[in-house]
Amino acid sequence: MKNLLFWLLVYTLIMAFSQILLKMGAVQIGSFKIKEFRDVLIIAFEVLTNPFVILSVTLMVSMFFLWMFILSWFKLGLVFPMTALTYVFVALMSYFFLGEALSLINYFGIILIASGIFFLLYR
């Protein structure tokens, strides 16, 4: 049950997917234009009733508890650098799920992050 790579992959993939859902909810709600206090209440209601936002927050809260378990099993200096994989997964999921374009510099950044994680954890 304490397989480091498995649990960190679960954690980072779900955290990345929760960001995709949050973006989908934000797009569905539209831009936030606040001119008076009533607008804040309307936006809050839209946010709190949006299914994408609700699922995203639920996943994030669930991953908070998984993160607590991971921290109880492994050293922080070992596991925290690996959470940077979330950035890689968000970029790739944005491409596949949201149709966002990735430029050559984005691919370079993904390779750089992955290389950085490798060098941080290399023994």
Q: What is the mean pLDDT of the chain?
A: 92
**pLDDT at residue 112 greater than cutoff 70:** yes
Cα separation, 72 vs 75, in Å, equals 8
Structural domain boundaries in the chain: 4-121
Q: What is the pLDDT of residues 6-61, one digit of tens each?
A: 999 999 999 999 999 999 999 998 887 888 888 889 888 999 999 999 999 999 99
Cα separation, 107 vs 94, in Å, equals 13
**pLDDT at residue 123 greater than cutoff 80:** no
Going by the DSSP 8-state scheme, the letter that residue 1 receives in this structure is -
pLDDT at 2: 67
Please, where are the H alpha helices in the chain? Answer: 4-29, 37-49, 51-73, 76-79, 85-98, 104-121
Measured on CA atoms in the order 6, 115, 96, 60, is the torsion positive or negative? positive
